[in-house]
Structure 1
C-alpha cells in the first residue's frame, strides 16, 4: 500500500463547500460526499447508498439542511450516516441501511478528512494558522488542479527544490541558484528541507516582490513536509548580508489529496510575508501576478514533467529505482518516514 490511512488529508478549501450542496470527493480510492449543515458544521459520508449503490452526491439536502436524500429511491440519511426514513411499504429500516461516516474537521480554511479506522487525532492537523490571520490583500486565490500521478511524485518534486533552477528558470530560480547550502531537519512525522543561496541574481517572482532592479540578493527556500502529504514553503529574498527579517517573500501552502494511485488533487495558495509598501494599485497587480505565476509553474511546468515521470514508471518492464544524487536527500528521507508509518499501521480492512 502507498497510503497512510490514519492521518488528516485536505479534502477541499472551506470556501468551496456550499450549504445545501452535496459535494463529491475521492480520497484514497474511496468516494465520499461532503455536506455543510445550516450551522456551518461539516460531515463526510461514503458516497454510496446501501440500497442499490447510487451516488449520494446526486441526492438532495432536506430536513432543514440536516438530512441527505438519495434521489434514486428516496431513502433519507442523517449526518451520522443513519437511515432515518424509508418511504416504501411499512417504512422498515433494515440494519444494513447505514452509510459510513468519516471524521471531518474544518480548520485553517481547509476541510480535513481522516479516512482511517483509528480514533482521529485532532492535534495531528498540520499548523496552517497563518491562513487564519492572513490579510486577504496579500493572499493569492485558493486554487487547485488535478494531476494524474502518484501523489508521492508530487511530494518528491516539492522536497527537491533544486529543480526550480531548470524547470522554473526565470520565475522561481535561475542558473546561479543551482549551488545551495542544503539542510535537513526531521521532527516526528515532519521533515524540513532548507536551501540557502547567497549573493545570486533574484528570480523573476522574487524580484517582483522586492527591489525590482535585478541586483544580487540572498535567497532562501525551505519546504516542510508533514505526513501524509501536507507541505509549507517558506521562500524569500533579502539584500546581501542583511537579516532575513529585512527581506520579503512568500509562504506557499501545498496540500495534496491522493484520489487514486494515479490521481492527485493539488491545493495551493500563497501568502506574502513582510510585504513591501508598494502603492495600492501595484499591490493588487502583484497579487494577481503572484497567483498567475504560481499556477503557471505548477500546471504548465511541473504537471507535464511529473506526468512524464509517471508514464515512464508505468511503462517500464520492471520496477524502476532512481540513480540518486545529493539533491535527493529530502525525497529519500521523507519516503523512509512515510513507509515506516504505513508499515506500522498494517494492512487496511477488507472493503465494505
Structure 2
C-alpha cells in the first residue's frame, strides 16, 4: 500500500501496553512489526517476518538473558538490531529490519523509516507534566480509513448524536476555534440532562460530571486528540490516539490521564472512567464502520471548519 502521511510521528504503544518480555504485534501502513520490552524497560522493534521461512516473530518468545526474540518455527534468535544470534559467533549485519522507535514519557513513537516531517507533539509533554496516567483503554482496530477516523475525532458535532445517551448530552456549542499549522484548539460548552440515581448506578462516571461542562479539545495532527475536562473530583485529559494499520483499517486507543487531589476518589472512579473511554471508542467505531461510501455533504453544521481543516491538512500533506 501507499504509506499514509509518510514522515508523521505515530504513537504506536504505551509501555504499560507491552508488559515485560512479551512479543506484541503492531501493523503500521500495511507492514507488520513485533515490539517488546525487556525487564530493564528497553523497548525494541523488528519486522515481524522471520527471514528464514517467513514465520511471524510475534508468535515466538523473548530470551531474557540475551534480549532476543525467538522464531516459533525453528527457534532462531534475533537481537534488537535484527542480527541473527549464533552463540559465540557474532553477526555484524542485520538480516531482519529493525523499526526505529523513540520512547518518550513512556510513549513509543516511530516514523516507520521515513524522514520526519513533524516533531513529536509538545502536547504530550504538557500532559505528563501536569497529569498522571490513569490507564489505557479502548484499544481497537476499526474497519475504516484513517481519514474517516480522523474526521470523526475532529468533528465535535457527533457528540450530539453518537455520545448523546452515554453522557446525557442535550446541547454542544463551540465558543472558539484556533488553528496554528498542525495544532488546533477549540473551547466547547456542553449541557447535560439531569441524571437519575439509576443512570448513575449503571454509569458511575455521570456522577462526576456537572450539568454544564466547559471543555477544551486540543489536536496535534495527525495522531492526537485530547479532551480536557474539569470535574468536581479533579481534571481529566482523555488522550485519543490514531494510526493507520492498512488502507482500510485504523488503530485507536486512549491514554487516560487525571489530576486529582484525593487519591481515594481516583481509586473509586478509575474503572468507571476507563470504561466510559472504552465505550466512547465503541460508539465511534460503530459510527465509522456503518458509513456509506463518501459523497460530498449537502448539509453543513455550525463550526465544521475544524473538521474540514483537518481534511485539508491530510490532502495537502
TM-score (norm 2): 0.81
Q: Which residue of 2 aligns with 1:320?
A: 295
Q: For residues 281-310 of structure 1, what are the alpha-carbon distances to aligned partners after superposition, in whole Å with 9 as ceiling and x for unaligned?
A: x653333222222322321x222121101x
Q: Which residue of 2 aligns with 1:297?
A: 280
Aligned residues: 306
SS where residue 127 of structure 1 aligns? helix
Shift of the 18–210 alpha-carbon distance from structure 1 to 2, 3 Å rule, reads closer
| Aligned positions of 1:151-190 closer than 5 A | 151-172=146-167, 174-175=169-170, 177-178=171-172, 180-190=173-183
Structure 1, unpaired ranges of 5+: 239-246, 314-318, 342-352
Partners of 1:272 and 1:10 in 2: CA distance: 20
Say which of 329, 333, 348 aligns to 2:305.
Answer: 329
| Aligned positions of 1:86-165 closer than 5 A | 98-118=95-115, 123-129=119-125, 130-131=127-128, 134-135=131-132, 139-165=134-160
Partners of 1:339 and 1:86 in 2: CA distance: 50
How far has the Cα of 1:147 moved from its partner?
1.6
Partners of 2:312 and 2:295 in 1: CA distance: 17
Shift of the 263–170 alpha-carbon distance from structure 1 to 2, 3 Å rule, reads same
Structure 2, unpaired ranges of 5+: 196-203
SS where residue 281 of structure 2 aligns? helix
TM-score (norm 1): 0.74
Say which of 271, 285, 294 aligns to 2:257.
Answer: 271
Partners of 2:230 and 2:90 in 1: CA distance: 63
Larger Rg: 1
Partners of 2:97 and 2:228 in 1: CA distance: 38
| Aligned-CA RMSD value | 3.3
Partners of 2:224 and 2:15 in 1: CA distance: 16
Q: Which residue of 2 aligns with 1:8?
A: 9
Shift of the 47–101 alpha-carbon distance from structure 1 to 2, 3 Å rule, reads same
How far has the Cα of 1:141 moved from its partner?
4.6
Partners of 1:270 and 1:203 in 2: CA distance: 25
| Aligned positions of 1:136-285 closer than 5 A | 139-172=134-167, 174-175=169-170, 177-178=171-172, 180-196=173-189, 200-201=191-192, 208-210=207-209, 217=212, 219-236=213-230, 249-273=235-259, 275=260, 280=264, 283-285=266-268
Partners of 1:221 and 1:118 in 2: CA distance: 35
1:288 and 2:287 correspond = no
How far has the Cα of 1:146 moved from its partner?
2.5
Q: Which residue of 1 aligns with 2:315?
A: 339
Tell me, yes or no, if the aligned pair for 2:138 and 2:277 is still in contact at 8 Å. Answer: no
